[in-house]
Structure 1
């Protein structure tokens, strides 16, 4: 195994993934530069820069001197992907090439076909949705440049996020965690009893850093260590048990209401129509290749759910 010493990190995005990666790198003594549209407050180990990643020249300047660049950003909503991802992706590739930096991309499972079989890194990139095809095109362009010797790239693919810091656009976000911890009931999407893979935020951050550090990662995609699939009902029941409350009543939110009605006021919700299959059917990923290669294992489900509940309790208490 050849391990490349990495000390200068540039992270695009300061959401739950980017922030967790930055904090982990800072704790081990590396220098970290975080790029985002709004900037942020510097610390001793982390500097924040206000950058629009669609601006190629601005991103090139902000990434100068990087050993590795992490793409932990996403456009603001599904409805913005087709307009914003292409210039962002091109600017990131240019920045990696210009600095001879490794590029670690945070990916998802949209690249695969709609299926109820277990998804692995060997599954065909046969997405039929617009968002899925866009992610396929981004990856294929990046890996083509890798094969041509122009840059080093890898992609870490995860299923739906949960964990500390996940507040919006997630199954265990505001619309579920807050009412559950207040003793209320919840509405969920799709088949609440279908097995579904959920990837824990700290495991995502650890995987990104592992891939950046190890030369065995380059030139291919990896599935982030993810615990065995559970249902949405299992998630809700687990939260109730940890919180010491009675089981919550779960009702199913109709798709027509989300897409046709709520989507009028929140445009990003209209994009959920393309991902409906992920919630109406089993949606299961395997991550054994990562574990067998690098040795990392997913955080046990009960531990991850407990830490998520504790984070939400602190958040709610601080907001009172």
Structure 2
């Protein structure tokens, strides 16, 4: 039985922790809140991962540290470097392997299909910092200080996912209300189900071939409209009324919430086709993407369960 440390408490962190314990391992799940799944194999620990000494103590004896931490979106340039540096240092000192959950921002604007060989050429602040954090981890690996790998996921789908689709489209479809989306509706985009991201993270951690490089998580390639319409069909609601937010509308929203202004950096991903090659993950580890209907059926089931759990006001 191996012990692992999962840092973060989002949907993918939870799915990763449960996947590990269901395979017979034990997990120490670290977040500032100390929240997470209730399972005898998961020890929930309230800790700010910036506390390197305390995190090192928690990581001591662990086989793998999974970095799934995610600071507030608009703060990445300031908050990611010290947080990721602390996690890297703790894993190294504890003698654990490090698997990072990454995204596709580091590539910047790309013509054609994106593979792991595509240069990390982002110019936006969030993409630059994510690319730099991978470069720092890879340098530590190449110096022999520890073993590292990164799994880069697309926009998340699924029950518990937090993404543009889940926050805007999914919630509106299930509520049967019109919605404006900060993304083109009919351009193909590569999405990753949170369960598939977790499966990829675990597969990478368990295979000696994985270290010293990045891997693309399995992807479902579709348009916003295709996914929204299929979700509506599975939920037995009307086909959604969708429209695209204008730049002027986003700018107006940004006056109240800094999140909105951050969307301009990734406009090359939301307003152009952005398609990812996940063949290395499939051929090396046999880890493939779930069927879209399976992922959306879980979303519908979770929505029904949430509605049933709300007490009747009457």
- The two structures have a TM-score, normalised by structure 1, of 0.92
Q: CA deviation at 1:273?
A: 1.6
User: Which SS does the other structure have where 1:172 is aligned?
Assistant: helix
User: Which SS does the other structure have where 1:197 is aligned?
Assistant: strand
1:162 maps to 2:157: yes
Q: Is the 8 A contact 2:57 2:94 kept in 1?
A: no
1:305 maps to 2:296: yes
Q: CA deviation at 1:90?
A: 1.1
Partner of 1:87: 82
Q: Is the 8 A contact 1:154 1:219 kept in 2?
A: yes
Q: Distance in 1 between matches of 2:23 and 2:8?
A: 20
- 1:46 aligned to 26, 34, 42, which one? 42
Partner of 2:66: 70
Q: Is the 8 A contact 1:13 1:71 kept in 2?
A: yes
User: Which SS does the other structure have where 1:272 is aligned?
Assistant: helix
Q: Distance in 2 between matches of 1:33 and 1:209?
A: 15
Q: Distance in 2 between matches of 1:164 and 1:249?
A: 22
Q: Deviations over 1:232-262 (max 9, x none)?
A: 111111111112233221111123222x222
Partner of 1:173: 166
- 2:189 aligned to 167, 178, 196, which one? 196
When residues 178 and 136 of structure 1 are mapped into structure 2, their CA distance, relative to the original with a 3 A threshold, is closer
Structure 1, unmatched stretches of 5+, are 1-5
Q: CA deviation at 1:317?
A: 3.0
User: Which SS does the other structure have where 1:285 is aligned?
Assistant: coil
Mapping of residues 116-131 of structure 1, within 5 Å: 116-131=111-126
1:245 maps to 2:217: no
Q: Is the 8 A contact 2:50 2:87 kept in 1?
A: no
1:267 maps to 2:258: yes
**What is the aligned length?**
310
Q: Distance in 1 between matches of 2:64 and 2:224?
A: 36
User: Which SS does the other structure have where 1:121 is aligned?
Assistant: coil
- The two structures have a TM-score, normalised by structure 2, of 0.94
When residues 270 and 58 of structure 1 are mapped into structure 2, their CA distance, relative to the original with a 3 A threshold, is farther
Greater alpha carbon shift after TM alignment, 115-124 vs 239-248: 239-248
Q: Deviations over 1:289-309 (max 9, x none)?
A: 111111111111222222222
Partner of 1:226: 219
Q: CA deviation at 1:225?
A: 1.2
Q: Is the 8 A contact 2:60 2:96 kept in 1?
A: no
Q: Distance in 1 between matches of 2:34 and 2:170?
A: 28
Partner of 1:58: 54
Q: Distance in 1 between matches of 2:133 and 2:264?
A: 22
Q: Deviations over 1:89-119 (max 9, x none)?
A: 1111111111221100000101113024110
1:317 maps to 2:308: yes
Structure 2, unmatched stretches of 5+, are none
Q: Distance in 2 between matches of 1:23 and 1:319?
A: 26
Q: Is the 8 A contact 2:165 2:224 kept in 1?
A: no
Q: Distance in 1 between matches of 2:300 and 2:70?
A: 25
Partner of 2:268: 277
Partner of 1:217: 210
